[in-house]
Amino acid sequence: MRRWRPDRLAARFALLLTAALLAANLAALGLLALERDRLEGRARDEAVLARLLAVAPLMDGAADATRARLAEGLSRRGLRVRIDDRPAVAPDAGDRRTRRLRTRVEAALEGRALRLAPASARGGPAASLALSDPPGWLNATWRGGPPPRRGEAWPVVLLLALGLAATLAVGLAFVRQLTRPLGALAAAARAAGRGDRAVRVPEDGARELREAAAAFNDMQARIARADAERMRLVAALGHDLRTPITSLRIRAEMLEEAGGETGAEAAAMGDTLREMEVMADGLLAFARGEGEAEAPERIDLAPWLGRLAAARGAAVGDMAAVAAQARPVALGRAVGNLVDNALRYAGGATLRLDREGAEAVIAVEDDGPGIPPERLGEMTEPFRRGEASRGRDTGGAGLGLAIARAVAEAHGGALRLRNRAGGGLAAEIRLPAEADGA
Ligand SMILES: Nc1ncnc2c1ncn2[C@@H]1O[C@H](COP(=O)(O)OP(=O)(O)OP(=O)(O)O)[C@@H](O)[C@H]1O
Ligand SMILES: [Mg+2]
């Protein structure tokens, strides 16, 4: 139903303004035309009467032939004059317009009888003027409507177009002033939605815009504070749980040494407690990573990844030349977690770097067992682990992928997991890349 409405604010405004200006100007033009016709009609009526009144004295006392010749001389386009025995206009004919006309020519009548009739559907206005010696009537009718006009439309159209162009220019500049901060606000809100707590919008422009920007900035600050508070809580939890768990584990190990059925029970308990220890450590690491307020910087990804691969013992595959704005410590932890997983579950990792459109794609590939397709989605949730990591030697907290995903999303990117065609897992961190040559 609202299909016809343009999408952009500027276009809507231009349309509304054009419609309003056209309507107002057409109405004004119409009124002006009516007024002009009225004035012109009045002037013509007076001119005709003045001519009749000038000739009438010459007809008084003149012969029929002279009268006829004079009448013929008066007649012209749009004015018909005849000499008759009777008046063509009834005595009581007349309206406001004719009454006014009579008062304006009253002085020139000098007692001569004049009958006036207004323009009607049958024809233009008419007048009958009495003649004497012999008595007779000078009957005249003339055209009432305005004479046809030509070639007058273009100045009006030109003026209208100029007025419209000027108003639109001013109006669109105004709308631009309005939409530019709105666009910035939308972009900032999108970045905030992706988890960027550092983004702020400038608080300038008109009051309403300043207020919207201030409200957004305020919201960002509040969320950042709440985030930090939550992370402090998680860290405290991880830290405070660790001590009692460790003491329980040590006691379980002591019991284990006693052997027998109790010892076997205690060994199982010890395993569970070790697992809980790792989880508490993980909580701490998670909270520490998230809590850090690190400034993003421009990273030339290929050499940076090369150094990371060398430090972690990963192989290096194809590397495209791509740069991105990123927080190096956080991104290093994210990629490091992926490399650790590949080394732990597949025994080897290969790092690749690619550019796909506006995205930098950091891929960590391996030739291991991969992840069952139905579990690919859930593995990035915190504390999710596969069977492979249940064993004692490989056991982790199940936070590595969750951290990598959180970091990628905080950079405005994403973490993708997929099983490679030839077997093994490919874990990709996709980030907004800097424009080429930047
Ligand atoms: N490269 C991989 N190959 C096969 N399975 C993987 C791979 N990477 C992750 N997984 C599976 O995904 C699960 C979740 O990985 P994640 O890194 O989140 O946790 P984790 O490695 O178990 O523990 P943490 O990283 O916290 O020490 C792992 O337990 C493992 O089962
Ligand atoms: Mg891991």
Bond before 382 cis per omega within 30 degrees: no
Q: Is residue 59 part of a domain?
A: yes
Q: Is residue 32 part of a domain?
A: yes
Question: Would you say residue 2 has pLDDT above 60?
Answer: no
> Which residues fall within 8 angstroms of residue 64, CB to CB, at 6 or more apart?
83
pLDDT of residue 103: 87
Q: Which residue has the higher pLDDT, 178 or 311?
A: 311
The Å distance, Cα 402 to ligand 2 centre, comes to 9
Average pLDDT estimate for 364-375: 94
Q: What is the pTM of this model?
A: 0.55
Residue 334 exposed, middle or buried by CB count within 10 Å (0-12, 13-18, 19+): buried
pLDDT(431) > 80: yes
Q: Which ligand is nearest to the CA of 363?
A: 1
Q: What is the pLDDT of residue 201?
A: 94
pLDDT at residue 246 above 50? yes
Per-residue pLDDT band at 307 (split at 50, 70, 90) = very high
- Give the closest residue (by CA) to ligand 1 atom 31: 386
CA–centroid distance, 245 to ligand 2, in Å, is 22
SS3 252: helix
Pocket of ligand 1 contains residue 324 by CB under 6 Å: no
Q: What is the per-residue pLDDT for 316?
A: 95
pLDDT digits (tens, 9 = 90+) for 11-43: 888 888 888 888 888 888 888 888 888 888 888
438, pLDDT greater than 50: no
Q: What is the pLDDT of residue 163?
A: 86
Number of domains in the chain: 2
Packed helices 207-257 and 153-193: angle between N→C axes, nearest 10 degrees: 20
Under a CB-based contact definition with an 8 Å cutoff, are residues 197 and 227 in contact?
A: yes
pLDDT digits (tens, 9 = 90+) for 70-90: 999 888 888 899 999 999 888
The answer to whether residue 249 sits within a structural domain is: no
- 393 pLDDT tier (thresholds 50, 70, 90): low
Residue 433 three-state SS: strand
pLDDT top residue among 283 and 48: 48
| Residues near ion ligand 2 (Cβ under 5 Å) | 341, 396, 400
Q: Of the candidates 142, 169, 189, which is a domain's last residue? A: 142
Indicate whether 122 pLDDT > 90: no
pLDDT digits (tens, 9 = 90+) for 400-412: 898 899 889 888 8
Are residues 130 and 137 in contact, defined by beta-carbon separation less than 8 angstroms? yes
Ligand 1 nearest-atom number relative to CA 341: 8
Strand partners, 356: 359
Answer whether residue 215 is part of any domain. no
Residue 362 Cα, ligand 1 centroid: separation in angstroms? 18
Q: So what's the pLDDT on residue 94?
A: 64
Instruction: With a cut of 70, say whether residue 50 has pLDDT above it.
Output: yes
Question: From the centroid of its chain, how far is CA 152?
Answer: 41
Judge if the beta carbon of residue 323 lies within 6 A of ligand 1. no
- The answer to whether the CB of 389 is under 6 A from ligand 1 is yes
Q: Mutate which of 384, 385, 428 to test ligand 1's pocket (most atoms within 8 Å of Cβ)?
A: 385
Top-confidence residue, 244 or 197: 244
- Determine whether the shortest distance from the Cβ of 420 to ligand 1 is under 6 A: no
Q: Are the CB atoms for 428 and 359 separated by under 8 Å?
A: no
- Write the DSSP assignment of 90-123 as a string of letters: -TT---HHHHHHHHHHHHHHTT--EEEE--BTTB
The CA angle 412-415-416, to the nearest 5 degrees, is 135
**Assigned token pair, 255:** 């019991």
Q: What angle do CA 49, 52, 53 make, to 5 degrees?
A: 85
Question: CATH number for the domain including 372?
Answer: 3.30.565.10
- Is residue 379 within 8 A of residue 401, CB to CB? The reply is yes
pLDDT of residue 101: 85
Name the residue at shortest CA distance from atom 9 of ligand 1.
341
For ligand 1, whether the C-beta of 139 sits within 6 Å is: no
Question: Is residue 152 very low, low, confident or very high in pLDDT (cuts 50, 70, 90)?
Answer: low
Q: Which of 114, 121, 112 is nearest to 139 (CA)?
A: 114
113 by Cβ neighbours in 10 Å (0-12 / 13-18 / 19+) ranks as middle
Show the 3-state SS of 331-385: HHHHHHHHHHHHHHHHCCCEEEEEEECCEEEEEEECCCCCCCHHHCCHHHCCCCC
Determine the distance separating the centroid of ligand 2 and the alpha carbon of 312, expressed in angstroms: 14
- Name the phi and psi angles at 342, rounded to 5: -60, -45
Both structure tokens of 304:
């940076």
d(CA 300, CA 315): 19
User: What's the confidence (pLDDT) of residue 238?
Assistant: 85
Percent of the chain with pLDDT over 70: 93
Rounded Cα distance between 80 and 142, Å, is 6
The atom number, within ligand 1, closest to the CA of 342 reads 1
pLDDT for the residue 348? 92
Ligand nearest to the CA of 385: 1
CB of residue 366 inside a 6 A radius of ligand 1 = yes
Pocket test for ligand 1, best of 337, 341, 384 (most atoms within 8 A of CB): 341
- 116 within some domain: yes
Domain boundary (142, 161, 185) is at: 142
Q: Is residue 186 part of a domain?
A: no
Band of pLDDT at residue 313, cut at 50, 70 and 90: very high
Residue 290 lies in a domain: no
Q: Does residue 227 belong to any structural domain of this protein? A: no
One-letter identity of residue 428: E
End-to-end CA distance of the chain: 46
> Residue with the nearest Cα to atom 27 of ligand 1?
396
* Containing structural domain, residue 364: 295-432
DSSP for residue 4: T
Instruction: Read off the pLDDT band of 1 (50, 70, 90).
Output: very low
Ligand 1 centroid to residue 341 C-alpha, Å: 5
Residues 339-355: tens digit of each pLDDT: 999 999 999 999 999 99
Residue 97 belongs to a domain with what CATH number? 3.30.450
Ligand nearest to the CA of 286: 1
Query: Does residue 203 surpass a pLDDT of 50?
Result: yes
369 Cβ below 6 A of ligand 1:
yes
Q: Which of 142, 161, 180 is the last residue of a domain?
A: 142
- 355 beta partners: 360
Is residue 417 lining ligand 1, measured as CB closer than 6 Å?
A: no
